[in-house]
Amino acid sequence: DTGVSQNPRHKITKRGQNVTFRCDPISEHNRLYWYRQTLGQGPEFLTYFQNEAQLEKSRLLSDRFSAERPKGSFSTLEIQRTEQGDSAMYLCASLRSGGLSYEQYFGPGTRLTVT
């Protein structure tokens, strides 16, 4: 078990381009979360999945953002028509619900820079 992985680690894109990030959770974890962290701030919740079902989306998740977890394993987060305000660290976390731990395990993040 190698933990939560995220790819790419860094992404630089021009305003208006689309970007997609991938998250691979810990294999037995059925819940997967996306957070966004801007400089000097704590992470903010974006959305989460239980298996393949997207159960909650934050108001922060505008129409330009879409997330999927098609087979209940890895997840992708796509941002369309990127804006400079989208520059942030995008963090993925996973958790096994129904256990006693309640601990979310975080990946290393994808740092997005929109120029």
Partner 1 sequence: AQSVTQLGSHVSVSEGALVLLRCNYSSSVPPYLFWYVQYPNQGLQLLLKYTSAATLVKGINGFEAEFKKSETSFHLTKPSAHMSDAAEYFCAVSEGLTGGGNKLTFGTGTQLKVEL
Q: By the criterion CB under 8 A, which residues form the site for partner 1?
A: 4, 31, 33, 35, 40-45, 48, 50, 55-56, 91, 93, 95, 97, 100, 102-109, 111
CB of 16 to partner 1, least distance (A): 27
Q: Which is nearer to partner 1, 17 or 38 (CB)?
A: 38
Q: How far is the CB of 95 from partner 1 (least distance, A)?
A: 6
Q: Amino acid identity of 91?
A: L
Q: In angstroms, give the least distance from the CB of 81 to partner 1.
A: 26
Q: How many CB atoms lie within 10 A of CB 40?
A: 5
Q: Which residues contact 55 (CB under 8 A, 6 or more apart)?
A: 48, 49
Cα 23 from Cα 21, distance rounded (Å): 7
Q: 9 vs 18, which CB is nearer to partner 1? A: 9
Beta carbon nearer to partner 1, 76 or 80: 76
In sequence order, what DSSP letters do the residues of 63-110 get, joined into one string? TTEEEE-TTSS-EEEEESS--GGG-EEEEEEEE-TTSS--PPEE---E
CB-nearer residue toward partner 1: 97 or 113: 97
